[in-house]
């Protein structure tokens, strides 16, 4: 086996700094699994791409532990590996962006959706302004149906990465307009503020625009089943959808906002049976927000609910050989885990079980507190949400974090959300590395056509090549 020359090493290192290096094995030879896939063009009529946004490996484990301890069931994701007997691929994926080993969701989704590594913050656009045709447009042009489902705003970074081109992910009004102009078949999530004329900067009524193009427009869960068979726009919140645990403990929200599993089932029912197939992206987007907030209840129960959507997709693909299912995440975030507690760690399980009595998220707690809140108000609010009576000293720390007088060793963890998360770690034994994205190589699972050719370690952009090749739509990828 020949080794890589110093010249080749330096060349590839320079290319890597630009995000242009060829994918290589440890021995320095080019990967060839994508070449092998070319013999399988058109094998995947349908593609389902599922993303638990911001899911560190600890988040996957936490959800499985809590689901087993609270509900007596293993998560569908882990049961795929453990007990279903289905043929699957499991590996790790490098999610680096063009300008950083730590990626944001825009660059991450663009690596899958446009096939290129780009700078953090952009969506399917190079630093010099070149646009990369997103995969939803490619599938649309090939005559396939397209759908996006998320628990965030539908105009947020991850769905947009499959369907849009903007230099800045915050241009959500523009992303919404591009959805209208490009005519994708199904859009479900939050973000009404980017469709309503009253809240758009240009004053345009995009709901009216979608209606004029034949879309059914729904804003309540009960309307989903009665929506027409034409194109569908379902927007169920002004901004992001509520966290799972907050929704379940609010009767009005529970009645009006669909779960990600319900939206996934509706999407598959509507897209299924179409002669030329479909592309569907499903994102559990608020898992990421829970990690940013060091919010254990938000993170765990949204991950468990995302897993219910995974079950819907696994059920749909069972017995089929024409559908590629990819289940993954775009980056780690805050890297939560159950820490050892007690003699020989014997208290860890019991402390983790305290999460089962939570009624609301940390976000819910902090939403009614500010720098003028008293220790007593903080104590009462935390106990109402968690059934945990924190100490006066801990309440004082939270109060100091809100008025900016708390000093922490790691300065990134002096915010109220981080301090509240750390206080509750004393009762849950769940602690956090920080409050931001991490550079982890991420979990990647796949089922369906072509998986036997995949390597154990994948570069993020390779999934774009895999999808367009297996779907037989490479000729539509240019332009």
**How far out from the chain centre does Cα 15 lie?**
29
Ramachandran assignment for 197, one of left (phi > 0), alpha (psi -120 to 50 degrees), beta (any other): alpha
Active site residue 216: no
| Spatial separation of the C-alpha atoms in residues 257 and 237, rounded to whole Å | 8
Q: Which of 459, 463, 453 is nearest to 441 (CA)?
A: 459
3-class secondary structure, 159: helix
For the beta sheet containing 442-447, the strands, ordered from the edge strand earlier in sequence to the opposite edge, are: 216-218, 232-235, 186-190, 145-153, 278-284, 46-52, 323-328, 442-447, 89-94, 457-459
Identify the active-site residue in 52, 76, 97, 105: 105
Contacts of residue 30, Cβ cutoff 8 Å, sequence gap at least 6 = 22, 23, 24
Q: Which of 153, 150, 155, 133 is nearest to 142 (CA)?
A: 133
- Asked whether 356 and 430 are in contact (CB, 8 A), the reply is no
Q: Which of 219, 163, 168 is nearest to 191 (CA)?
A: 219
Look at the alpha carbons of 136, 189, 436, 353 in this order and tell me if their dihedral is positive or negative: negative
3-class secondary structure, 246: helix
Query: What is each CA distance from 348 to 197, 299, 340, 341, 351, in whole angstroms?
Result: 51, 18, 6, 5, 5
3-class secondary structure, 405: coil
Q: Rounded to 5 degrees, what are φ and ψ at 185?
A: -80, -30
- Asked whether 321 and 448 are in contact (CB, 8 A), the reply is yes
Give the other-Cβ count within 10 Å of 422's Cβ.
18
- Asked whether 135 and 173 are in contact (CB, 8 A), the reply is no
Alpha helices for 74-184 (secondary structure H): 76-82, 105-113, 135-141, 157-161, 172-182
Give the other-Cβ count within 10 Å of 10's Cβ.
11
| Spatial separation of the C-alpha atoms in residues 29 and 475, rounded to whole Å | 28
Which sequence positions are flagged as catalytic? 105
């Amino acid at each position: 086996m020949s080794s890589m020359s110093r010249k080749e090493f330096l060349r590839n290192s320079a290319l890597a700094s630009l995000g242009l290096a060829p994918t290589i094995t440890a021995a320095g030879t080019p990967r060839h699994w994508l070449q092998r896939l070319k013999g399988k063009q058109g094998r995947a009529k349908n593609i389902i791409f599922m993303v638990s946004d911001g899911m560190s490996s600890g988040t996957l484990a936490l959800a499985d532990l809590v689901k087993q301890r609270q509900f007596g069931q293993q998560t569908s994701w882990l049961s795929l590996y453990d007990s279903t007997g289905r043929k699957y691929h499991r590996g790790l994926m490098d999610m680096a962006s063009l300008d950083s080993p730590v990626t944001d969701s825009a660059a991450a989704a663009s690596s899958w959706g446009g096939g290129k590594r780009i700078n953090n913050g952009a969506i399917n656009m190079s630093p010099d302004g070149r646009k990369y045709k997103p995969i939803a447009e490619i599938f649309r042009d090939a005559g396939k149906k397209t759908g996006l489902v998320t628990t965030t705003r539908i105009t947020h970074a991850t769905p947009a990465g499959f369907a849009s081109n903007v230099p800045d992910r915050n241009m959500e009004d523009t992303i919404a307009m591009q959805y209208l102009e490009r005519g994708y078949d199904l859009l479900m999530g939050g973000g009404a503020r980017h469709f309503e004329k009253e809240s758009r900067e240009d004053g345009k009524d995009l709901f009216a625009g979608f209606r004029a193009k034949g879309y059914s427009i729904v804003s309540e869960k009960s309307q989903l089943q009665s929506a027409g068979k034409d194109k569908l726009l379902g927007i169920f919140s002004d901004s992001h959808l509520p966290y799972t645990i907050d929704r379940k403990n609010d009767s009005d929200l529970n009645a009006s906002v669909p779960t990600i599993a319900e939206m996934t089932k509706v999407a598959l029912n509507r897209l299924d049976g179409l002669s030329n197939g479909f592309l569907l992206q499903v994102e559990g987007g608020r898992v990421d927000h829970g990690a940013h907030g060091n919010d254990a209840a938000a993170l765990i129960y949204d991950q468990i609910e995302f897993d219910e959507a995974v079950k819907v997709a696994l059920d749909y693909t069972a017995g089929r050989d024409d559908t590629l299912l990819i289940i993954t995440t775009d980056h780690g975030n805050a890297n939560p885990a159950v820490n050892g507690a007690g003699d020989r760690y014997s208290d860890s399980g019991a402390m983790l079980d305290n999460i089962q009595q939570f009624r609301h998220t940390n976000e819910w707690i902090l939403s009614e507190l500010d720098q003028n809140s008293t220790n007593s108000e903080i104590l009462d609010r935390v106990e109402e949400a968690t059934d945990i009576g924190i100490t006066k000293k801990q309440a004082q720390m939270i109060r100091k974090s809100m008025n900016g007088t708390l000093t922490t060793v790691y300065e990134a963890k002096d915010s109220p959300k981080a301090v509240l998360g750390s206080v509750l770690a004393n009762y849950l034994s769940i602690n956090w590395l920080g409050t931001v994205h991490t550079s982890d190589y991420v979990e990647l699972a796949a089922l369906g056509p072509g998986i036997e050719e995949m390597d154990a370690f994948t570069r993020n952009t390779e999934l774009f090549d895999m999808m367009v090749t297996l779907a037989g739509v490479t000729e539509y990828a240019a332009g």
